[in-house]
Structure 1
Amino acid sequence: MIRRAVPWLLAVAALLALDRVADRIGTRLALGELETTSRAAAMLRVAVLRSEIDKQRSLPMVLAQDPDLHRALETAEPERLRALDTKLEHLASATRTGVIYALDRNGLTVAASNWRETTSFVNNDYAFRPYFRDAVAEGSAEHFALGSVSNRPGLYMSQRLDGAGGVLGVIVIKAEFAEVEQGWARLPEPVLTTNPAGIVTVTSVPDWHFRATRPLPEAERDAIRTSLQFGDAALADLELQPLGEDRLLRIAGVPPPLSGPFLPVAEAVPGIDWELTLLAPTRGALEPARATARLAALLGGSGLLGVIGVALRRRRRAREERAREQVLRQELEARVGVRTAELRAANESLREEAEVRQRAEATLHRMRDELGQANRLAILGQITASVAHEINQPVAAIRTFADNASLLAERGDVAAARRGLATIAGLTERIGSITGELRGFARKATAGEGPVGLRSAVDGALLLLGHRLRQQGVAVEVGIPDDPLVRAERVRLEQVLVNLIGNAIEALQDRPDGRIVLAASPLQGRWRLSVTDNGPGLSPAIRAALFMPFTTTKPAGLGLGLVISREILEGFGGSLEAPEMDRGASFVLELAAASSPGGRDATALLPCPDRSQGHRP
């Protein structure tokens, strides 16, 4: 009886061991995948935090050069200080900065952006703050602390102001991270940043502010409290308790789901001595992976033990059933061969299907490019006559000036002949710009994207359509400040602009007062460009199917121009819409702003007021 039970006990022990191994492997694989995705998420949050800090970091240095600030600190006249209050108030509102305030050489606040509020900093003494002392000593300083008046935490950035007689004072801005924390709080993973002492500074969980993530010696804790960096905060411990050997941890003393378990992923925050930690919840990722691995191990182990049992039983009966065993073995081998052949055939079929799919996708991309090129060449055909007319005039003028220069040279009037030749050179440059724009427009667009001047692209499109605009007497008004950079590809962007402006020209055929307005404005890291005409507008039926293929109001149109234009812009990460208008029609395209060669965002280089100019090409 005992001998019969031994194999079963061994089988159960093997299954239990296999279950443990499978559970371990499933856990490791799930945690590895979770760490990869969580690290990407942590890097994204670091980028958001760093962007917020860098946005505010240059403001103290710029303000340190402000002459009004220097004169107010030098004279301490009440009128100048009140004017400085108003100026700082407007600047703080425009830059979304928490507070901007100026300290005299003794650390007393003489002007602040919150001078109207009950928590005004004016007349408060901040000489005890490290950001004042360090700025006076070293020129600039940064210090994270809890506001002693506002009772809100923030990163204080300060810059010393020097005058002829020495230090005039210090300009300070307070960057607050409430919006960043609110954005983090909407995501499932808790996030916190810590300073070198391990104290939480910015976090998606409000209760974790100013809690210590590692044990603080009592002397260090007393020194922090004495400095009033975090006010009267208790600096209680945020108890991060390790779980096992997988770097998992739980947080003691907090209710689920904030208690964990979590997989911590840490990333340093560039430019400041902080570390960001993302706590990735593991329950939703681990349980399915572990269950799947254990089920697979159970099924595999059961099958293996079944095979071993059959083999042992077959061995016991080998002498009596040798012939039958041979038949069964052959049958089993045949089934395995058939199944293997079926699997091999299925694998080949899947490989062929994948290759067909890849070829189909390549063909689709090629057809899209060719369709865009065909659309561009169709437009090119429409504007060839107008470009030829553009070139005929300077060519005729060149002939006339050349004949005149020859006659003047024969008469010995070299100066007049040279002036004529200079005029010919200018006319050839004009022809070169027209033909160069035409060649660039006809060229097949490359796949590369980069910074493109929006105003330059608009000017190129207007150059190609100039004769049609003059021929119909259509006025064009361009309101684009400077030449902002957008993320696009020059040829394809011009193709979209030629499509939209050409449609507007055709809509204005029967109007003696036709007008097209092109206006651009920045919006949260993007640029919006509207192309508006005072034509008959779009009917509700046409608007409902405006961006569907083969929808057109032109007798000879194919209805593909707007579809291709929207696909081109979406390939750049942009969009194309046609908002409803009371009069006329308007098409609005959006593109992401590109960085200038100096590395700054193009929208940061714009002047405050928009400048627009009207002209007729």
Structure 2
Amino acid sequence: MVSTSTSDAPVSRRRLLAWALVAAAIGLALAWTVGALVQDRAMATLRSRATASAALHAAVLRSELDKQRALPLVLADDADLEAALTSRAPERLAALSRKLETLGLQARAAAVYVIAADGVTVAASNWRQPTSFVGSNYGFRPYFTEALRQGRAEQFALGTVSRKPGLYLARRVDGGAGPLGVVVVKLEFDGVEAAWRAIGEPAFVVDPRGLVLITSQPDWRFQVRRPLPENERAALRKQGQFGDAAFAPLPLKSRGGDGVQRTDVARAERQVETLLPDVAPGWTLHLLTAATPADQAAAAARWITALVWILLCTALFWLWIRRRRIRLAAQREREARAELERRVEVRTQELTQVNRALSREVDERQRTETRLRALQADLVQANKLAALGQIAAGVAHEINQPVAAIRANADNGLVLIGRGKPETARENLVAIAAMTERIGRITDELRAFSRKADGRVEPTLVSEVIEGSVLLTASRSRRHDARLVREGEASGLTVLGERIRLEQVLVNLLQNAFEAVEHRPQGLVTLTVRDAGDTVQIAVRDNGPGLAPEVERGLFTPFLTTKPQGLGLGLVIARDIAAGFGGQLTAASTPEEGATFTLTLRKADR
């Protein structure tokens, strides 16, 4: 025999390792590519949403600015203000302060005040407060000097009294002889910053130098987006409009493109920085949006791609192993077959004879099993027909009586018609129709009962099975002078089974019960239906003498019977039918209360 060589095993291992390395490289490249594509798409969506969110932030800021810019413009042309600055009368200036106070409350401005041409504040909306601007000299403020020179000015700075940052909007007030002074509205952005904080994304506004003026992060105020030269920082400190701010760089570290990462938060996530220029003259809005969803989507895509690739490679490897094993097994099989053929040559004839004998035995066994199944079906049908034969005599009497009555009513109807009494004849015809219907019900039930069951298991109404069985055994009940009592409610109960075979079981139990009370002066058979949750129990109880102990022990043994003409198969077949439906048939007996047979069946609707 030729043996399988293993000299190619190292070559196969090296080839397998090379394929594994190639598959790993392809998987890594594929996972990285898919992740990059998913991240690009997710980032595009994220940037689009960030742009919309930045526009919303800018709209909130522009709304506040536009609302306040109109106030100094209107006040600069106010006649009362011009008259107060011209006369500098105390009563006029007091009235002007009260007017500015009312306007400041209505416009929700932080402060509204008027500076005379000499730089002294002569009226202010906060004139009642300890921090009143009245009497303070603001001639050094750039917004004052620039407004006097150019007619208007805007400056963002810290308040010299309140120390709160805000935007100062200044307008020159002109008189007949020249400039009279400047009206100033200070706008603070606490509400805007609170609205930005509520949105949850860090946002800030920088001036052309990159200095943070308005921010949802209070710690970032007066920090710079990019470092300022030392001379520029010194000039800002000298002006004093930002107090003692250090102009430190913002805690943001660039991560390529528009990505940044905060350095003031532990384990900070990557964020996308969206810029919206010209939200106000020279101001740029910066919005930071967490890039975590895009990063997570990319990571998930990479992991899923890697997992799918691993599963695919595993499946291919398993198929390769299986194919290799099949190939090796086929090779071993060929070798073994060749060896077997050499050994079989001397025993071919003997094995052929044994094979023929085995084939004959298998065929005979199959034929025996076929005959056994047919015999079992015939035995069930024979038992049914035997019961049908016992029922037939009583049913014939049930039919003969209505037939005789039909004949008599028909003859009477002819006579009544001849005498001209159609109404009376009609009553006879109605009686004939009722008796014909009764005969039809009996014959239909006999025909259905005699039909061979098709073996299907389906939902079956318990009430139909009981009505059919009672109808078929009614004559037996009267012949044995036994009274049938029905207990329990069968309406609506449905079990798994087949009506014909269930009727066969119930007819068998009812006939046995009627025979058991045959010689009783007050024979009583009770048919009880009980809903037991997942099952339905149908009990047939008689008040006969009960079962002898030896009969009860072998009650379901084939060919064991106490009837002279019985075969001892009725209860055996009934039990097998119940078991075929997933149920059971049990018996109990006492000499005082008689025998009780309980048929338990599964509900069809559970």
Using the size of structure 2 for normalisation, the TM-score is 0.50
Q: TM-score, normalised by structure 1?
A: 0.49
